[in-house]
Copies of this chain bind each other. A is one copy, B any other.
Amino acid sequence: MPAKTDLSKFNCSLAQALAAVGEGWTLLILRDAFLGLSRFGEFQQSLGMAKNILAARLAHLVSHGILERDGTEKRPLYRVTDKGRDLFPALAALMQWGDRWTSGGKAPMRLIDENGHAIARIRLATRRGPVDPRDISFRPGPGATLRTRHFMTRLSG
């Protein structure tokens, strides 16, 4: 990947999507980890980030348990944890969005399973079937604070 500071310059729908939604580098590091990269120099070469920023982002991902640090002190390995791997659907959904809206339908990268079958478009659904995003509404959940409940009551009022 080219050493660019502008995410939109990358040939990667995820980068395009992140540029479009105004986000940063962290999910791209995770993408690279999914791609099999594990060394500092590999991430650095792939993403062209400044070393101090990359080091900070890697430390951030490790501190949040999304990557884990392994290997030796001098030559660490960064591996995706279960928590990190569980971000794959969100990352794939952003990447697919980028494929549709910022890459003109021409995906720079495809995702396939072990038999070569393409990962299907990620859609919202209930157990009964697909749902149009226009028909979705938000409700307070079991973790809602009083403030969140008031906020959502005002919305539906």
A interface residue numbers (CB < 8 A to B): 1-2, 11-13, 17-18, 20-27, 30, 34-37, 46, 57, 60-61, 64-66, 83, 85-90, 92-94, 96-97, 99-101, 103-104, 106-114, 117-120, 122-128, 131, 133-145, 147-148, 151-152, 155
Contact = CB atoms under 8 A, between A and B. Distances in A.
A128 B128 CA distance: 18
Copy number in the complex reads 2
A128 B117 contact: yes
A46 B151 CA distance: 8
A20 B127 CA distance: 29
A110 B145 CA distance: 13
Contact of A64 (B20, B27, B35): B20
Contacts of A106: 141-143
A129 B150 CA distance: 40
